[in-house]
A and B are shown apart, each in its own frame.
Chain A
């Protein structure tokens, strides 16, 4: 078994995670459902890679994500941090047995569960109680509408049961999430009050039970103070689990750059980005920055209707891409020569990291591209439709980079050949090969993973599909009349393609950070020196960060001179 432990740090990372686990839960549900489409039955995907089997003290078996989530105190909304699986029926202790004196109760206003969570709760009780299931059921339409209107926390749309060790809340910070917005403010949070110790202990709980861990899947919201927490955490992981690779996704929501009113705020932001990126990069083997500033206007969402200001919407797209990217890790490894008819291209985390970041060039920054939904393989209008439609989720990337050393890992799931005919594994292989042969630029190396099973759309998925998308996620010739955006009630599954790519196209991303660091932080008289000192960084450390970044640039641009050193 090749287990993966998933770690989510910070608000937006948890939003993505919530969608991600909803997909997994939906897959598990469909695999067990008699009436579901047969592609979901024999997936040849091993869910034990992401999930763990446990047992409560009462002997009930549980199956929960192998997950550690770190977030603000109060970010769990109406969900209890202990989950519901393991608290054996009693919610309030009858009396306090350790104290004979007075007891005073301070109850905060109970958080109302939204319609979706109410329906989950009902469903569970009707399974346990076995009655009253058809009477006052909440119509699914209302649930979808309600979720579309207000989602405050990631727990509002999560349908997964978590293990009590999974959800860690940071308490005693005494600040608003809005104030927790830069690297400096989160710097000591991990080490203070033994928080780091507890977080690491919880991680150890999940790692100890792994027979053979293949890696960590680490998502961090790097737009604020959580980046500092994650960096400290990663440092600890690198130290404790030296040979276990961490696949790091730095994520951020859309519009986080919007409200920069003054120049000073811009300097703070730019320095944060530079420091945060170089710190995180120095503790991981491969880093994938994702999060476009304007997702709704990007080419990714040509078939989607996304509202940038809703993290509930944006995170769904990223989660879908991460889901596809994680598929190869849980494909059952067949014998070295055998191939199954449902999947091909199994690889483990270490394999991906070595392939993309460990080659001659040692470029550890990868780009994530996605097409959602994936068009048919033999698309009518455009000959290389599938490849041509892959759009980057990584910001600040050039579109047509001249790079002869591109290495990529392409994942296609549930693609159609044409119309709604599901393409077989070999058809996908041939199509991709043919497409690359026709293409003018092709990568040095491409690893292809294919799964027959498409991405299932769970009920709490936001209504972000445009009216050109059919029930199976196929692209229609003419728009469906009626509503602008379609959701989980109309679209049941979609084909996806995602690609992790190591290419020099990421250069602007790196160069911007390096330049900002120099301009605002390192150069003499830079406006941000004072600020960085208050974050606890001396000149030496800053120069180290600069060094890290310029090394990353240099691997991609051999003729890059450290020209800006002179000015």
Chain B
């Protein structure tokens, strides 16, 4: 081998060893994630070396927490994480689908088949499956008034795989209402406009949707009001902090008085800016008992805070950049970058602004707003683990609702699609394929069944019985999924179990690509460390 001449330290794995290394890695990763899948999956508690605990049922989170060393496994993991980035769900499904494709291929390769032929079959099967998906999907009309029921069903399907049923059902409404709140006609949905805030306080069932905004900081002046009603909101990005000017910052002074005078002059320009805000307050609040709240992206130093407090204004500094956008969407008005010509038009409105303190953490609630286009999901829980799991679930739920609105379609869940696609491939597509590529199609079709199989397995059911029952129903023309309680077939349409169309399409698309690449590897060269031994 020529490489040996170039680098005597290089390690070369030949064809079958390379292939088996890849297959084993894929199977290994599949084994880790497989138990996660579905509403009967296992939640995983990870205890780190320092004794810190992470609890997760989310494939994406789990992958990121794992210290994966094997290069093949890393490749699969990256694909799965990318899946999550693109469509927001389906990490676990991607990993187990790739693993199953490799597993099915192994059978044929061990019988002497060339991987190239299998890969050709995969390609045909993939295209056929995608076409089938187009026919199989259930279109949903998303006009100006989206069908809330179907959105709820999709969200519920996702959430129930992450949280226990009662909590999942409670969050379903929250998630759907949150997305509908920020949705603007003719514009893509920006999920960042849903703020997700968490408080370590009370119980998981106290999680709620706040129409308005919750900020994770409070005013920094002891005498500012903690609770105000009927508030004008000024959203601004103006420094109210004394800072030396940038250019020619040298102070030239010859005695202490001069220095004081220069400092005072610098200070004055800050005070003028504060005064502009106070003037506006006096203008709009004259003759009524409305209040005035300033939320600033830049800093506000104690002298400025004091002036504002004296004028009866509540002021918050260093707001998150994204909150500037959210505030305007929630309260109205506009975010100003200069206080030189303020008009009442810049101001937003909120019925209630109040502060909540937990230890050193302060939260400011901006509520009772008119026509909000931004909102906050406030997650509560007694500990960080609970909060983290609800957060994962909420994230997935939001993505699921968004996908549904954008796809204008859903796919029947509970394994119904996979079984239907498999029957289609085996009964119809396979016959049209010439030669040995048929076997590739068959391997692909069988690999699809991994989803219902794993669902059954995780529910403690007999996999063979379930698959036979499901395929039998499909052959009779009934589209059914798996009832994970009984193992009997069920009608996903009736039960309201729907998956995202785009998630499914993405899995069908990316799974075979990676599997094919891994199968076609016939030599692994590593000119560095030894890859057989862990180091």
A91 to chain B: closest residue by CB: B51
Can you list 23 pairs linking A and B with CB atoms under 8 Å apart?
A: A74-B49, A74-B67, A78-B50, A91-B53, A96-B55, A96-B385, A96-B389, A98-B164, A98-B167, A98-B390, A101-B41, A102-B42, A103-B43, A105-B47, A107-B46, A171-B64, A174-B69, A193-B85, A205-B216, A335-B256, A336-B256, A337-B256, A358-B249
Q: Does A33 contact B (CB under 8 A)?
A: no
What is the interface of chain A, defined by CB distance below 8 A to chain B?
54-59, 62, 73-74, 76-82, 90-93, 96-111, 171-172, 174-175, 193, 201, 204-205, 207-213, 240, 243, 335-337, 350, 354, 358
Contact B299–A76 (Cβ < 8 Å):
no
A106-B46, A212-B241 known; A57+B40 contact, CB < 8 A: no
Q: Which of A56, A82, A101, A336 contacts B52 (CB 8 A)?
A: A82
Give the distance to chain A from B525, nearest Cβ to Cβ, in Å: 16
What is the interface of chain B, defined by CB distance below 8 A to chain A?
35, 39-53, 55, 57, 63-65, 67-69, 74, 77-78, 81, 85, 162-165, 167, 200, 204, 216-217, 220, 239, 241-244, 246, 249-250, 256, 259-260, 299, 301-302, 317-318, 320-321, 358-361, 381-386, 389-390, 393
A100, B39: Cα distance in complex, Å: 10
Q: How many A-B residue pairs have CB under 8 A?
A: 153
Contact B250–A354 (Cβ < 8 Å):
yes
A171 to chain B: closest residue by CB: B64
A73, B61: Cα distance in complex, Å: 14
Task: Give every chain B residue within 8 A of A107 (Cβ-Cβ).
Answer: 46-47
Contact B51–A80 (Cβ < 8 Å):
yes
A225, B407: Cα distance in complex, Å: 38
A91-B51, A104-B42 known; A98+B359 contact, CB < 8 A: no
Give the distance to chain A from B458, nearest Cβ to Cβ, in Å: 8
Task: Give every chain A residue within 8 A of B47 (Cβ-Cβ).
Answer: 105-108, 110
Contact B360–A56 (Cβ < 8 Å):
yes
Task: Give every chain B residue within 8 A of A210 (Cβ-Cβ).
Answer: 299
Given A81-B52, A174-B68, 7 more contacts at CB 8 Å? A56-B359, A96-B43, A174-B67, A174-B74, A204-B320, A205-B216, A358-B249
A354 to chain B: closest residue by CB: B249
Contact B67–A73 (Cβ < 8 Å):
yes
A212, B302: Cα distance in complex, Å: 8
Contact A211–B164 (Cβ < 8 Å):
no
A91, B44: Cα distance in complex, Å: 17
Q: Which of B50, B57, B358, B385 contacts A79 (CB 8 A)?
A: B50
Task: Give every chain A residue within 8 A of B318 (Cβ-Cβ).
Answer: 204, 207-208
- Most B CB atoms within 10 A — which of A101, A207, A209, A337? A101
Contact A211–B85 (Cβ < 8 Å):
no
A154, B55: Cα distance in complex, Å: 27
A77-B49, A98-B164 known; A212+B242 contact, CB < 8 A: yes
Contact A211–B302 (Cβ < 8 Å):
yes
Contact B360–A55 (Cβ < 8 Å):
yes
Contact B49–A97 (Cβ < 8 Å):
no
Task: Give every chain B residue within 8 A of A209 (Cβ-Cβ).
Answer: 220
A96-B43, A174-B77 known; A77+B360 contact, CB < 8 A: no
Contact B360–A78 (Cβ < 8 Å):
no
Task: Give every chain A residue within 8 A of B249 (Cβ-Cβ).
Answer: 350, 354, 358
Contact B42–A103 (Cβ < 8 Å):
yes
B39 to chain A: closest residue by CB: A101
Contact B383–A93 (Cβ < 8 Å):
yes
Give 9 closest A-B pairs by Cβ, nearest first: A172-B64, A107-B47, A111-B49, A57-B359, A208-B318, A102-B42, A80-B52, A99-B43, A54-B360
Contact B57–A99 (Cβ < 8 Å):
yes
A77, B46: Cα distance in complex, Å: 16
Contact B204–A98 (Cβ < 8 Å):
yes
B73 to chain A: closest residue by CB: A174
Task: Give every chain B residue within 8 A of A174 (Cβ-Cβ).
Answer: 67-69, 74, 77-78
Task: Give every chain B residue within 8 A of A54 (Cβ-Cβ).
Answer: 359-360
Contact A106–B53 (Cβ < 8 Å):
no
Contact B239–A243 (Cβ < 8 Å):
yes
Task: Give every chain B residue within 8 A of A354 (Cβ-Cβ).
Answer: 249-250
Give the distance to chain A from B482, nearest Cβ to Cβ, in Å: 16
A92, B48: Cα distance in complex, Å: 12
Give the distance to chain A from B119, nearest Cβ to Cβ, in Å: 26
A336 to chain B: closest residue by CB: B256
B57 to chain A: closest residue by CB: A99
A73-B67, A93-B385, A111-B50 known; A208+B217 contact, CB < 8 A: yes
A100, B389: Cα distance in complex, Å: 13
- Most B CB atoms within 10 A — which of A59, A74, A336? A336
Give the distance to chain A from B218, nearest Cβ to Cβ, in Å: 10
A218, B35: Cα distance in complex, Å: 44
Task: Give every chain B residue within 8 A of A58 (Cβ-Cβ).
Answer: 359
A212, B69: Cα distance in complex, Å: 45
Contact A57–B200 (Cβ < 8 Å):
yes
Task: Give every chain A residue within 8 A of B200 (Cβ-Cβ).
Answer: 57
A211, B382: Cα distance in complex, Å: 31
B166 to chain A: closest residue by CB: A100
Task: Give every chain A residue within 8 A of B41 (Cβ-Cβ).
Answer: 101-102
Task: Give every chain B residue within 8 A of A77 (Cβ-Cβ).
Answer: 49-50
A73-B67, A110-B51, A174-B77 known; A211+B45 contact, CB < 8 A: no
A76 to chain B: closest residue by CB: B50
Contact A102–B239 (Cβ < 8 Å):
no
